[in-house]
Amino acid sequence: MAVEIVYRSTRDPERLFMDKAEADRHDRMLELAERLSEVLSKAVPSLNENQSEEIGIYMARHRDLFAKAFRNNPGALAELDEADEGSDE
């Protein structure tokens, strides 16, 4: 009988990972998304809960590009369009 080690995300228990570091990265991304969602909900009260969660997750997944944009490189956000177009395929 073979034994396989898998890691479960604490914030997304249905998702399994073969690598602990990858599970930790996923948990940190979800934590950031949760915080962003809270901030966005307070800043824009007209957003419903689902919208703020989706925006938070989107920003957390692309945090490196947003960080570049916030560091006086707004052109970095153009990469988001390219990434989104590539995910449609």
What average pLDDT does range 4-20 have in this prediction? 91
DSSP state, 18?
A: S
Q: What percent of the chain stands above pLDDT 70?
A: 92
Query: Which CATH homologous superfamily contains domain 7-87?
Result: PSPTO_1197 like (1.10.10.710)
Q: What is the DSSP string of 43-63?
A: H-TTS-HHHHHHHHHHHHHTH
Confidence band (pLDDT; 50, 70, 90) for 9? confident
Give Cα 83 distance to the centre of its chain: 14
Tally of residues, the chain: 89
| Distance (Å, whole) CA 23 – CA 28 | 9
Taking residue 51's Cβ as centre, other Cβ atoms within 10 Å add up to: 14
Residue 25 has pLDDT above 80, yes or no: yes
